[in-house]
A = this chain, B = another copy of it.
Amino acid sequence: MTSTEHTPSSPGPAADSPQRTVRPTRQRRAVAAALAGFDDFRSAQEIHDLIQKQGDSVGLATVYRTLAALADAGEVDMLRNEDGEAIWRSCSDTHHHHLVCRTCGATVEVEGPAVERWTNAIAQEHGYGDISHTLEIFGTCPACR
């Protein structure tokens, strides 16, 4: 459901780990292709529409399920726009953050060694280990101002 593994609930004593259960189906490929066609964050509806325009037919529910699976597998980033809609984008390999226009969705990838260092320092200062973090920046891009 999310791009990172936030799930404070479900302490999961059930010993399951089915992670690699991702089967390469036509629908999955269609979603992946649609994602590849964008270079910024898009909503599920937009992705669904693009797939249909490309001739393929994939149910909206399947789009959601596929996107959730991809996000879970770390192949796409999911976040929410200011309207609360979930938006997705295929993510590159390197760790980076996003500067997203809340009007048109234009995205800039930014790296922040300073932030990386700061988060690690803060965490260790409080005795926390095994650190990860998420950081998103929203704003209005030059074209939309």
Interface residues of A (CB under 8 A from B): 1-2, 4-6, 8-9, 80, 82, 84-86, 99-102, 105, 108, 110, 112, 114-115, 118-119, 122-123, 126-142, 145
**CA separation between A9 and B2, bound complex, in Å?**
18
In the A-B complex, the 5 residue pairs with the smallest Cβ-Cβ separation, listed nearest first, are: A128-B139, A127-B142, A84-B84, A131-B139, A133-B137
In the complex, given contacts A5-B102, A131-B137, what are 16 additional A-B residue pairs having Cβ atoms less than 8 angstroms apart? A5-B138, A84-B85, A110-B122, A119-B135, A126-B141, A127-B145, A128-B140, A129-B145, A130-B139, A130-B140, A131-B138, A132-B137, A133-B135, A133-B136, A133-B138, A134-B138
Within the complex, what minimum Cβ distance (angstroms) separates A43 from chain B?
11
Least Cβ distance of A80 to chain B in Å? 5
- Report B-chain residues with C-beta under 8 Å of the C-beta of A85: 84
Write the chain B residue with the least CB distance to A78: B82
Minimum Cβ distance to chain B for residue A104 (Å):
9
Contact B99 A128 (CB under 8 A): yes
A43 and B132 CA atoms in complex are apart in Å by 20
